[in-house]
Structure 1
Amino acid sequence: MSRDLASRLKKQKLSDEKAKEEFDRLWECWVFRVSSELPPEEQLDIRATVQNILLEKFKNQGDVLNKIVNREKMFQFNKKKHIKQSWASSVWNRVTSQDPQWESHGNELTQQIQRAVNQYINRREEEKVDFNDNFIHEILGEIKKKITDYVNQFFTGQTIFTKEYEFELSVYLCTTAVPRFEKIHTAFRRANDPLTYLESKRDQYLNCFMSFCKGASSVTFFVDFLCRCLKPAIQQAACDKTCIQITDEMKSNYPAFSGNRSNLENHILRHLAEQKDFDSYMEYINHPKGYFERFIRERVERYCRDNRDQLRRMLNTNLSDLVQQVLTVSTTVTAAVRERHAGAILWLDEFCAALSDHMVLHRQDYRNIENEDITDLQFLRETMAGSLWEILENFQKESSSTPDLDLKMFRRRPDEILCEALSGCWEQCPFCTAICTNTIPGHSSDHSVQFHRPLALSGQSDILLTDFCPTLVCSNRTFRPPHSMKSVPYKTYRAAGEPYSRWSITPDESEQSYWKWFICTFRSQLEEKFRSDLQGRIPSEWGRITKSSVLKELR
């Protein structure tokens, strides 16, 4: 219809303005026809849906409706209403002068849950699915599971997080996520709504219409449409290749990334020693995965800033190579189609298939041009060459006008690839917080580490803080799991249940001087943080350990 109209109008030699007016009238007819055939749109009130699910889930909570509807404040952990402690456990803590560190436990669990919920929503956004009620049910299930797992790991039934904690945190996380759910729903509707899809193609159809009004040939129209679709595919493929090259460069030129996670950990420990910042140490000790990811991300961003000219040249080279690849494929495909006396359908089939290893192309995107008359295949190839080199020129101009390489253009950032490659199990020793060295997340075998740390790092003040785990498991001493009234011999530490039963701690004498130096260096900060006096517990020889000697030990 549009092509017929354009063909008639080209004889009238209309100005661009008049031709556009004709297209606007045609477009209004199309929009009216499509919209009249659409079923009535159902309005989805996501906020009301979330509130109703929360009301049903927590209907036994006091003043539940008011708390759900008026929830606006940030969630804050409150040990008085969020922790329920048995009478016996409470008395034991007072008698033994123990500080259960409720604030620390509560904030840590809250952060874990917030990260888990955020990751869940991120996955849903990436999947490009529509919002549905199951989102909320799955989030509520994840919150409950995280609370249960945390209690099982650190407590023994004497202490629990209250229902009020689960309720308030669930309400906060679900209600504050409503805008993200609304964006998910809007994006899905936009991607799947026929009228929205038609509107997204308006400029494309307008360009085609104007081309025909000016008397463009089928080949010119074919190439113009094809190259408009190829441009983002080429750009994304070049970015993907550049991302891999950046990752490889960093693995080659940064010793921290050239080995496994144990090698990376040694570099992180050296970095921390040079910084001598207690808060950074605490972040690394308490949240190792997050610290590792931040360490990698900061170095990737710095590398991209410091080498922006080199990376810009790398990107331009990749763009040029891909354009040349497209031209080579078009020449090969054109020759093959000419021999078989075929037309546009076969040409597009062969073209998309030949480039599938180099970039992401969707054959269905080219159905609008598969019936074009492209018998002059040589002219097709020449026209494509001109259009593609023009695209490359525009790419390079855009690249040169950007001061820094924008990491957002990568579907997967280099730091994300490095984090995944250098990841593994992140479970920490329940005694000393050392990280399991297994390279497989969720492995079925026991957790283990090469070097344990002094127990001072865990903040358990009822034990000799300078002891190392391998020494303790062959001693006659006992320990009491957090908030339990029952002592367990270190020799049979597995009898304490999870998480102790999942760890293999063997008696040996391998100890790193690093953590001895750390305790001596940050003794006052540790005493203040854990409210425990280290006086008389630190062997005198530890004080003679120097930073240079521990750095040499990490090489």
Structure 2
Amino acid sequence: MEKRNKSMKFCDIIDFDTEKHSWYFPGLWHGVPPMAIINQGYSENVFQLKKYLFTLLKERQSPEPQNINSFMEWTKSLWNAVKHETFIFSFRNILVAEAYDQMSVKYSELEWNFRKKVHSNLAKYENIIKNQLPENLQNVTSDILEKRIKELLDREETHMTQTLEQFFKSGCSNVHLIERYRGDFLIYVKSLRKDLEVMASNKCWEAVRIQNVKSEIQIIQTKIQQFIEEKVTKHLQNHRMNHSTPNERELKLEFNALWDNILQEFNMTRLRKHRIEIEMLEQLKREMKNRPGAVTEKLNNVKSLKYYEQKSFEMNNIYMDHGFFWNIVEFITKDCYKKLSHIAHSLAEDCQVYVNEKINTEEDYNEMYCQNLLDMINHKLDEEEVRKLHPTPQFEVDLKLHVLGGAAPLFQNMHDNFGINNDPIRVTNKFKPQYFSIFKNRMLYKDKSRRHAEHFCEQCLKPAIKEHTYKNLGKEIIDDMLKCADAMMFSSRKHFQLTLLKELLEINRFENYLRYVTKYDNYVKRWISKYIVKKYNNSAELDNLVSQIVSSIGKKIKAALQEPIVQSSQSVSQMLQVFSMELKKDLVLSKSAMKVTSFQNISNIRQFSTDIAYFLDSTEEEIKSSIVSMGIEDVLPKLTFKPQDELCQKIIGCGKRCPFCDAPCEAGGNNHQYHFSSFHRPKGLAPYKCSESNILCNSTCSADVFSNDSFINSDTDGKWLQYKDYRTIYPNWVILPDRDLNSSDYWKFVLKQFNDSFAKYYNVEPADIPSEWKRLTQKQALSSLQENMK
């Protein structure tokens, strides 16, 4: 096509005949529009192409039979592409888009199945780690990572690859139209496998760190319980020698005195308390010790993170290296300044989310949490788009002080709560009623097997089943959502965008559009969270999911109780040890609770198992009732696997945005080479100003890249560059042309409707709205949206 000479790679060509497949199209206009006449050679050559297409259709051996409807659709799209002189870039053919969307939906389905398998098995492996003795932790974890998880990942990767290949062969209509993307989707599978491998490794080693801490606490607790049991046993023996039989009131007074003496005599040591903010500050200083002198000097003068605890992060001129911008116009420098400010606040929010997630685990603080925060900041600052803004070392150190300053008191509170909840005296006193029950029954020569079983269900099985439920409920919620009536919106990014944008249009409020445009990731996550709450709030659906999980583990417990190896145990203590090993993949049973249950317990093993099974039914009902009565809003933070985070990651994908209008990338997978969006918007919504003026830009990049207009920004080093050459600066972005003149009506309507509001928010002048935009209606905007999302 005349004036459209762009490079093409070999992988872009599906089939090529050197003699028949080369066509020349002169420009549509003979001269400069609008006064130019139509070029006759253009129409003649297009007519010849149409005739040839009919001939080619008859001769070509296609993977599936062609029909007149698909041919008409293809010809229509081809004609639009040629008419708008965008032929060389992309057909924007609906059949291609539909085939790609089918492929994306299938990939999304297989990706979730892969993730679900890994998370399900990972939950079991974490339980195995938490059931290990300290001396076995390293070897068991290495075996899990090097053998079991590797085998799982190999198996699931192969299955996903083979299923995609099969889908390419027989499951996808018009598959020949997207043959060029086959390799991309197979690469996505390998990338997914790598991500899951890293995630699994991090989870397992974190489980090891947690277990190491709890093992130290368990050692102390075991010593305390042994001391208590020795004293109680000796006291019981003395009573038998005296042949005295006190009443229940006397027994209680006697036991309380005995208990107090035991605790006083043992002289329990408290858990060591750490000054978290001091440790975090030292960790920051160690990490930045090789930075420039000004940074080292500043850190040396910081004596405490408390100064940064409540302080908001405010931008400063020293945060950008202005030496790189000395020859660049002022409005670009200001734009970079705003971008750096946005990155800082966005990163601080992400770090806060991470801190909240760790706090909700109710585990002890670990120095890795501080290191992970620093790694999050380092990773972001190392991204190319951030490096182009030339942040200074002062920006880095102040941002880290701000993030750690906010996190330190929360981590301190987390550490303090863990210390309180695991305080030896507190934990020991929790078992006091059970020890008294044993003491009373032995003093009165009663053997209440059922009472032992009831205590075991309450103190040991109930917490373990609750933890199991919280570990698996998030996965079941996603599974349920991907099978419900609204499942299609989560099947691909395009379908989700359609749902989101339709709702925005129905609400038609500036505040909603502003949050969507300026804080897209945050908006999506909040929207998904609200959707989950609405779906499972005050409904039987949450009850059903919880009941399925609890009932399933209940059946496993009852089956384990009937295992011959459990039934043949010689003592209750041995029976509980064997029982816990039978369930080591599913439950983490409290060793302290099992020790109390086995103390002075001479129950018949078969009867004791029967009694546990009997009380288990009521325990299951109590767990179901307690979780469901909390409500989904209170349940979500307790889930190990957060459904809102997983769905958000599934929808957001790579997280890249159009460099001009900020439209989110819709390409399949997370590690694709090229980014694209099917629905670009007026650049002023980004916000993007017209050159050096202070006016919002009203043009769309999907039209600009096929014009002779130019742009200038920090990425071009302050030099003007034609939009059509944008890929010399942004090689990973493919900006497709509009299908027709009405393609962007949705966003044109939004800018027209809220032009003054956006201008006021961005502190600029409103965009110049063309007269035809002013006539756009909400109905036309919806029609444009639906047409674009086909």
Q: Judge same fold: TM > 0.5, yes or no.
A: yes
1:528 and 2:760 aligned: yes
The 5-angstrom pairing of residues 70-469 of structure 1 reads 70-71=307-308, 74-80=311-317, 82-83=319-320, 85-86=322-323, 89=326, 92-93=329-330, 100-101=334-335, 104-122=338-356, 125=359, 126=361, 128=363, 130-132=365-367, 136=370, 139-140=373-374, 142-143=376-377, 145-147=379-381, 149=383, 152-153=384-385, 156=388, 160-186=390-416, 189=419, 198=428, 201-217=431-447, 219-220=449-450, 222-227=452-457, 228-238=459-469, 243-251=474-482, 252-255=484-487, 257-307=489-539, 311-312=542-543, 315=546, 319=550, 322-323=553-554, 326-330=557-561, 332-333=562-563, 337-338=566-567, 343-344=571-572, 347-348=575-576, 351-352=579-580, 354-355=582-583, 359-361=587-589, 366=594, 376-392=604-620, 394-395=622-623, 398=626, 406-407=634-635, 408-441=637-670, 443=671, 445-462=673-690, 465-469=697-701
CA deviation after TM superposition for structure 1 residue 292, in Å: 0.7
SS at match of 1:520: helix
C-alpha distance 278-508 of structure 1, shift in aligned 2 (>3 A): closer
For 1:163 and 1:124, the matched residues in 2 are separated by 28
Structure 1 partner of 2:59: none
The 8 Å contact of residues 494 and 503 in structure 1, kept in 2 or not, is answered as yes
The answer (yes or no) to whether the contact 1:7–1:213 under 8 Å persists in 2 is no
- Of residues 289-298 and 27-36 in structure 1, the stretch that sits farther from structure 2 once superposed is 27-36
Classify 1:545/1:137 alpha carbon distance in 2 versus 1 (closer, same or farther; 3 Å): same
Distance, in Å, in 1 between the alignment partners of 2:659 and 2:415 is 43
Q: Quick one: which of 38, 41, 46 aligns to 2:276?
A: 46
| In structure 1, C-alpha distance between the alignment counterparts of 2:489 and 2:737, rounded to whole Å | 31
Kindly, what percent of the aligned residue pairs are identical?
20
- Asked if 1 retains the 8 angstrom alpha-carbon contact of 2:683 and 2:698, the reply is yes
Tell me the TM-score normalised to structure 2 length. Answer: 0.58
Q: Is 1:436–1:449's contact at 8 Å kept on the other side of the alignment?
A: yes
Please, which of 708, 714, 719 is the counterpart of residue 482 of structure 1? 714
What is the rounded CA distance, in whole Å, between the counterparts of 1:31 and 1:425 in structure 2? 57
Between Structure 1 and Structure 2, how many residues are aligned? 535
How many Å apart are 1:285 and its aligned residue?
1.6
User: Which has more radius of gyration?
Assistant: 2
Structure 1 residues 485 and 400 mapped into 2: Cα distance closer, same or farther (>3 Å)? closer
Change (3 A) 1:412 1:209: farther
Q: CA 1:422/1:88 → structure 2, altered by over 3 Å: closer, same or farther?
A: closer
Q: CA deviation at 1:230?
A: 0.8
Match of 2:128 in 1: none
Residue 495 of structure 1 corresponds to 728
Q: Is 2:281–2:304's contact at 8 Å kept on the other side of the alignment?
A: no
Of residues 747, 755, 769, the one that matches 1:515 is 747
Taking the aligned partners of 1:316 and 1:278, their CA distance within structure 2 comes to 42
Q: Work out whether residues 365 and 415 of structure 2, in 8 Å CA contact, stay in contact via their aligned partners in 1.
A: yes
Letter in 1 for 2:314: F
Structure 2: unaligned runs, 5 residues or longer: 1-229, 289-294
Q: Distance in 2 between matches of 1:462 and 1:373?
A: 83
On the 8 A contact 2:464/2:589 being kept in 1, the answer is yes
Partner residue, 1:547: 778
What secondary structure sits across from 1:217 in the alignment? Answer: coil
Output the CA distance in 2 between the equivalents of 1:357 and 1:135. 27
**What amino acid is the match of 1:269?**
L
Of 292-301 and 41-50, deviating more is 41-50
Partner Cα separation in structure 2 for residue 48 and residue 154 of structure 1 = 30
The farther-off stretch of 376-385 and 422-431 is 376-385
> Could you tell me how far 1:182 is from its partner in structure 2?
1.9
Could you tell me which runs of 5 or more consecutive residues in structure 1 were left unpaired when the two chains were aligned: none
SS at match of 1:462: coil
In the alignment, what sits opposite 2:217? none
Distance in 1 (CA, whole Å) between partners of 2:400 and 2:545 is: 47
- Distance in 2 (CA, whole Å) between partners of 1:404 and 1:485 is 51
Letter of the 2:616 counterpart = L
Alignment match, 1:505: 735
Question: CA 1:492 to 1:164, structure 2 compared with 1: closer, same or farther past 3 Å?
Answer: same
In structure 2, distance between residues paired with 1:6 and 1:425: 67
Structure 1 residues 61 and 414: alpha-carbon distance in aligned structure 2, compared to 1, 3 A threshold = closer
The 2-side partners of 1:365 and 1:421 are apart by: 41
- The answer on whether the counterparts of 2:438 and 2:600 sit within 8 Å (CA) in structure 1 is no
CA distance in 1 between counterparts of 2:363 and 2:487 reads 38
Measure, in 1, the Cα distance between the counterparts of 2:307 and 2:626.
47
Question: Considering only aligned residues, what root-mean-square deviation do their CA atoms show, in Å?
Answer: 4.3
Q: Render the CA deviation track for 1:169-191: whole Å, top value 9, x for unaligned.
A: 33333233222232344356568
CA distance, structure 2, for counterparts of residue 401 and residue 461 of structure 1: 52
CA distance in 2, matches of 1:336, 1:63: 63
C-alpha distance after superposition, 1:51-70 (max 9, x if no partner): 55667854424994489674
Q: How far apart in 2 are the matches of 1:250 and 1:478?
A: 46
Structure 1's 285 and 44: CA in aligned 2 closer, same or farther, altered over 3 A? same
Aligned counterparts of 1:341 and 1:42: Cα–Cα separation in 2: 39
Report the alpha carbon displacement of residue 291 of structure 1 after superposing the two structures with TM: 0.7
Counterpart Cα distance in 2 of 1:241 and 1:53: 35
Greater mean alpha carbon deviation, residues 241-250 or residues 59-68: 59-68
TM-score computed with the length of structure 1 as normaliser? 0.78
8 A contact 1:131–1:181 mirrored in 2: no
Amino acid corresponding to residue 527 of structure 2 in structure 1: F
Distance of aligned partners of 1:477 and 1:205 in 2 relative to their CA distance in 1, 3 Å threshold: farther
User: Offset at 1:515?
Assistant: 1.8
Question: Taking structure 1 as reference, are residues 284 and 189 closer, same or farther at Cα in structure 2, changes over 3 Å only?
Answer: same
Following TM superposition, by how much is the alpha carbon of 1:287 offset from its aligned partner in structure 2, in angstroms? 1.9
Alpha-carbon distance change, 253 to 23 in structure 1, aligned in 2, over 3 angstroms: farther
User: 1:231 offset after TM fit, Å?
Assistant: 1.5
**Cα distance in 1 between the residues matched to 2:767 and 2:247:** 88
Secondary structure, in 3 states, of the residue corresponding to 1:108? helix
Superposed CA deviations along residues 269-293 of structure 1, whole A, max 9, x for unmatched, are 1111111122221211222111111
